[in-house]
Chain A
Amino acid sequence: MARELKLMKGNEAIAEAAIRAGADAYFGYPITPQSEVIEYLMAEKPHERTGKVVLQAESEVAAINMVYGAAGAGKRVWTSSSSPGISLKQEGISYIAGAELPCVILNVVRGGPGLGTIQPSQADYFQSVKGGGHGDYRLIVLAPSSVQEMADYVVDAFDLAFKYRNPVLILSDGVIGQMMEKVYLIEQRPRLTDEEIKQRYAWATTGKKDGTERRVITSLALKADEMEAHNIHLQKKYAEIEANEVRFEEFQCDDAEYVFVAYGSSARVCQKAVQLARSKGIKAGLLRLITLFPFPKAEIGRLTGQVKGMLAVEMSSGQMIEDVKLAVNGRIKAEHFGRFGGNIPTPDEVVNALETQIIGG
């Protein structure tokens, strides 16, 4: 079937793809560099196209709680923001994880801390993969590195969210959100009818029919034993996600002696750095992470039997490197290289870092 080809910004592509994925609702609040998401949605009138609800909330806090309500009633719902706004959503995300509700959250990351900068960054890695809000929980975290993947991953994200009844975070950044690339779009998928939702999601609060048990969406368990049991259940789910959903991509790793480990925009830079390194006679490869949780521990472990060193490249002062080092477990040299605060590393800087920190270091 011919897929539609368009030239779009990452933020627009994900908004369009979410409509086509059959999303029922979006709640958001403007913040650079992701305001195009809600602007695009409002301009597209999805309520007329598919019946999808789009609402500009009074804050990110309100938006994530609107997501909670709609998700608790079985709807495919999503929200987007950028770093400061994502910080505000954390209490709500923790509740959503605790109550085991499916939803999709997009973070188009900008530089921090604080108000920081509107320039791109990857400094929200810890917040994304280590919890972010309070309590023992995990998000499934997908990291697109192109406009095409912004469109593709939102479709996957909804599927994963419902498969595991777990929030899925799409961790993007200001580069991917703002840049324009060509993108193939899927055909419109129908939204589920209310009847289908009732049939599929017995847990959803769609109104208690006489003679049936009432449904309760909650993250509360006042008794310690109950809360512990709920936590054990959550941990089992996370283990299952780790066993089944690890995703990554490798470029020229077959004969590589050194690999870059990167995701998102940094992975794009590293692809160029691989070419540059090889032109200098260095056998470099790239492990591009697609899922940040679950983290591709086993693949990194496998690569330590093949390569001499790894350079984790990230637009932060060194967050993902901690997980890389855990997976490497001291077997080979692994170091971090980053530009941050809104800066993007160049391929030259990356190759130079490989030469000085790993090969010569």
Chain B
Amino acid sequence: MLAKDIIKPENLVYQKTKLMTDNVLSYCPGCGHGTAHRITMEVLEEMGIGEETIGVAPVGCSVLAYEFMNIDMQQAAHGRAPAVATGIKRCYPEKFVFTYQGDGDLAAIGTAETIHACNRGENITIIFVNNGIYGMTGGQMAPTTLPGMRSSTSPYGRDVDMMGNPLKMTELVAQLPGTSFVSRQAVHTPKHVRKAKKAIRQAFELQKQKKGTTFVEIVSNCNSGWKMTPVQANKWMEENMFPFYPLGDIKVPE
């Protein structure tokens, strides 16, 4: 049977969202970024708000998100996406605005922007992809790198006495009055993808209701930076990242 015989409307069970472009993803095979992009775009499509949404992607592996997300996008400086998003949203309170940030971006260089946007309750959605490492720059230690975890700048494992402890930004922003929904998810299995998508949907629904900042962390992998195969990386993530960064909703609206 040829592909053209199989690909017919009556056989269609799944279709790529129109809000993803046809550009080939630049991510490493097995990387969670592609899935996180897709479910975010699927949520926008399902809610019918793609035309009203502006995305902000700062520096990190996902700096080229605008090549893949088929909506209006702004590329931001490292760490500054929540400020850029604030600028857009304050001027267009009726539009949907989200940031898509890595852990180095959100929890190190952009800590101030993240905390203050959440504390002001900016009516934006923050998607936070935490892979415990600086993927883009070649696997250096991130603020989220686990104790004892190896990276190119903690080659003998993260020594917390010397390098400090990993920072749980998601628990931190859940404390702030400006956030209405804070959740931690994963995207490495279909079950997790479904849950993560539900959380992202809720985040945008609450943005629609002007409920303040909504924040979804996605604990993800970086097989290149972790120097593992994709399968090993996912197993390592389950065994090491999830106990430290437990999945589930951390704050939900009353």
Contacts and interface: CB of A to CB of B under 8 A. Distances in A.
Interface of A: 24-25, 27, 53, 55, 57-59, 61-63, 65-73, 75, 77, 91-92, 95, 99, 194, 205-210, 214-220
Contacts of B85: 69
A147 B52 CA distance: 41
A53 B91 contact: yes
A207 B53 contact: yes
Interface in B38-90: 50-54, 56, 63-64, 66, 69-77, 80, 83-88, 90
Given A68-B76, A92-B77, A95-B77, A214 B88 contact: no
A194 B68 CA distance: 26
Contacts of B77: 65, 68, 91-92, 95
- Most chain B CB within 10 A, of A55, A68, A69, A215, is at A69
Contacts of B51: 207-210
Given A25-B91, A57-B83, A205 B70 contact: no
- Most chain A CB within 10 A, of B85, B90, B91, B116, is at B91
A73 B54 contact: yes
Nearest to A74: B91
B52 A27 contact: no
13 contacts: A62-B80, A66-B86, A66-B90, A68-B77, A68-B80, A69-B83, A70-B90, A73-B92, A77-B87, A92-B80, A205-B88, A206-B92, A214-B70
A70 B88 contact: yes
A73 to B, nearest CB: 5
A239 to B, nearest CB: 26
A69 B74 contact: yes
Nearest to B74: A217
Contacts of A92: 77, 80
Nearest to A24: B91
B126 to A, nearest CB: 14
A25 B87 contact: yes
B63 A69 contact: no
Nearest to A27: B87
B177 to A, nearest CB: 16
B113 interface: yes
Contact of A73 (B50, B71, B76, B91): B91
B79 to A, nearest CB: 8
B167 interface: no
Contacts of B92: 73, 194, 206
A215 B51 CA distance: 11
Contacts of B116: 57-58, 62
B84 A214 contact: no
Interface of B: 50-54, 56, 63-64, 66, 69-77, 80, 83-88, 90-92, 95, 112-113, 116
B16 to A, nearest CB: 16
B73 A216 contact: yes
B76 A65 contact: yes
Nearest to B57: A218
A25 B90 CA distance: 8
Given A61-B80, A65-B80, A217 B75 contact: yes
Contacts of B72: 205-208, 214-216
Nearest to B119: A58
Contacts of B95: 206-207
A20 B169 CA distance: 42
Contacts of A99: 75
A71 B54 CA distance: 13
B12 to A, nearest CB: 20
Contacts of B64: 220
Given A70-B87, A214-B71, A207 B66 contact: no
A57 B249 CA distance: 29
A2 to B, nearest CB: 33
A75 B76 contact: no
B84 A65 contact: yes
Given A208-B70, A218-B74, 12 more contacts: A27-B87, A58-B112, A58-B113, A66-B90, A70-B87, A72-B74, A73-B54, A73-B87, A99-B75, A207-B54, A208-B51, A214-B72
A59 B112 contact: yes
A65 B59 CA distance: 14
Contacts of A208: 50-51, 70-72
Contacts of A62: 80, 83, 86, 112-113, 116
B90 A55 contact: yes
B237 to A, nearest CB: 28
A238 to B, nearest CB: 22
Given A62-B116, A220-B75, A75 B80 contact: no
A105 to B, nearest CB: 14
B25 to A, nearest CB: 15
Contacts of A68: 74, 76-77, 80, 83-84, 87
A48 B145 CA distance: 47
Given A65-B77, A72-B74, A218 B66 contact: yes
Contacts of A67: 87
